[in-house]
Every structure is written in C-alpha cells, then in structure tokens.
A and B are shown apart, each in its own frame.
Chain A
Amino acid sequence: MSSRDKILAAVANNQPAKIELPDLSAFKTGKAGSVEQFAQVLTNIGGKAIHVNSWEEIAAFITENYSTTRVVTPIAELTGFKGIPANSDPHELYNVELAVIKAHFGVAENGAVWITEDNMGLRVLPFITQHLAVVIDGGEIVPTMAEAYDKISRLSSYGFASFIAGPSKTADIEQSLVIGAHGPRSMTVFIMPGRF
C-alpha cells in the first residue's frame, strides 16, 4: 500500500462527520472601497500612496527620483524605461533599482494590492527589486478581503499571483521593525483615476 493510500485510508477512517460550510455572505459590505482608507493603511504599513493623473506624471516622478538606467517595467504605457524581454533569466533582475508594475485592485482594509503574473513580467520582479512601484486604478479599491476574492473570481486565471502590502519588512530582531528585509525597501502606489 502506498503512503498515499495509507494516508487517505486513515483519513477516511478517522475523520468526523461532515458538516456544511458556513454562509459567508454577511462579510461582504456591498460598498465600494475607500481610497482614503487604502492610502492611510498603506502609509501605516510603510508604503506610500501618490495620486497621479497620467502615465506622464508617473514617468516624471520616476525620472526625478530614481536612476533611470536601473528602472524596469513591463508596462507598455510607460515609455523610456527598460522592459522585460521574453525568456529573460530572472537572475538578471538582481540589480533592478525600481520595478514599476500594474496591480488589478487594492484592498482598503489592509493596503494590499493584487498583482498577477502577467503584471509582473517575471515572477521575481516585485520581490527582487530594491524599490517597488505599483499603479492602480483609483476606482478599483475593494473594502475587505471578502470582496477581494469575489473580484479575483471574476478576473482571468493566473499561474502565480500575490497580495503585496507595503515594503518588505521584518521585526525578527527584538521586535524592532526594519523596512527592507529581502525584498523592496520601499513601495509606492500610484493611484490613477479611471480605468487604464
């Protein structure tokens, strides 16, 4: 008997009586998420929210604040920066200073943004970069994670995706918060009005 069969047999033998799943509909507020709350929570967790009106504004901000030779973005609308060629080796992203990517939506209660693999170019990009910038549509903020998964179920499928909430951080040494553990040392979210 394989371990698989042994485990499954033991589970079948020992599991308790089935009970129904709970109704979770009460957790959905039915309201739109608050951009103000999203920005506030993001700030609280070490991120930065910047309201912008155009891609040009974002590009200007980047040029002003980062060394453009090490800025990488898979966003077609952001011209003048390095893209990610097909079949790139993720290890080549080791020296990226700033990565700029799109997120599908933000979550007001925790400041997280939902980013799928097709936004990332390469999966490792939002993690390996020294600084991360994310662009979201200000109309795409949900109040809580309950609505977030509702929304995800309506988006197309992904191979990898992540909720990212602020810069990489640790408090492993005496509970002192340090921003910039292994991943980005900062996270900026550009909030644009209207769909893009």
Chain B
Amino acid sequence: MRVGLFIPCYVDQFYPGVAIATLQLLEKLGVDVVYPQNQTCCGQPMANSGFQDLSKGCSDLFLKNFNEFDYIVSPSGSCVLYLREHLSETDHHSPDYLGNKVYELTSFLTDVLKVENLTASFPHKVGMHISCHGQRGLHLSSMSELVAPGFSKPGSLLNMVKDIEMIELNRVDECCGFGGTFCVTEEAVSVKMGKDRIADHLLHGAEYITGADMSCLMHLEGILKRQGSKVKVIHIAEILNAG
C-alpha cells in the first residue's frame, strides 16, 4: 500500500508541525508514505468563492501528483471533502475517480488501517472542535441534527490516548465561523462565531482545542491570541503523535 501525503497549502506554509506529526504518525503505524514535492492546494478557496473554474489548475496538478497512489491522506477534512466532491468531472462512482482514494487522516486510521491502539500520551484537558466539512461532509462523526446512532472517528482515536481528558461542550457541532473566504468577507459574523465556539470550550475548562481541520483551528487561534488566552489549538495529528 503506497500512500501519498497531501498537505494543504496553508498547513505547508504556516503549520509545518501538523504535517510533520501526520507524516510521523503514519510512519509509526508502518505506512509507506510519500510526500510528492510539487503539490500546492486542493483548489477549494477559489471554488467556494464561486470560481470553481479557476481551481482547475490545482485539480490538474493534484491528479498529476497523486495518480500513482493507492491512498491519499491529508490532515484536513475540508480539503478532503472538496477533493472527493470536485476533483474532476470523472463519474464519482467510477473506480477511476481519484477523489475516492483521498482520506482525511482520522478516517484513514479508523477505516483503512483500523487502528485500535496508539502509544500517544497527552495529559491535558482537551475540547474537540469537529469541523463541519469533516463531520457533515465526510461523516467523521454523528451529527446532532440527525436521528441516528452516535459515533466519532476522531473521538475514538482520542480515547486511545493516555491521560487525555476530553471535555463536553454545550453545542457539540456548532460551526466555528471560518468558512474559507467567509472569514474575511463576513468578518463580523465569522469572528463572533469563533468567539462563541471558544467560549464554549473555555466554559468547560479546555486547555487545548483540537480538531481534524487546521483551518478552523487557525481561525480560533487568531481569536485566542488576540484575547491573550493561554488556551492553545492543536491539530489532532499532533495529539495522536504525542509522547
């Protein structure tokens, strides 16, 4: 099994630690993982702004970079959802559609590798911010709106981490307000949503806010820092790879 590692553009540039943790975690689990050098972005920023046509360059590049792999893994639910839904015009039910081989990290661990044990340790109080695209798009966890059995793929992995204390939230799956370019075009609402999301975590004593999408966390981090808060954001890969 050859796995290609897709690192979203902003993670590559601003959060290399998240990418390193993802790589190391996969290596620890014995995965033959390669990072193709010429990758950039999934194309979502343009497409979600209405310019899906302008994301074609990104899609072509992605197809070129990742065509050879059995699986493509990325530590970002949002980018993975975009690639699964919009990578190319190829019929999405066809085995030739590369988008179907793209996995968000936690679902790759639970569904493909079927990980049952981890050596990680993280002795902190942690709140889980489940990203909307990961949850409602990729079904990484059950959704509070639906009448269906509860589950959480990232949650089940965090449960394998030694000494971690997960906190409950009042609103389990409220959006953080990042929303791609929404975060600047609708700055006021975006920030208010982020502040409220943080307040829920603070109310329950979180030391860290984690999640499977660094974009949400980047937005929350920006607000936390401005507030002078000691609470930190941490990508789930960094917790699963910790200790």
Q: Do chains A and B touch in the complex (CB under 8 A)?
A: no
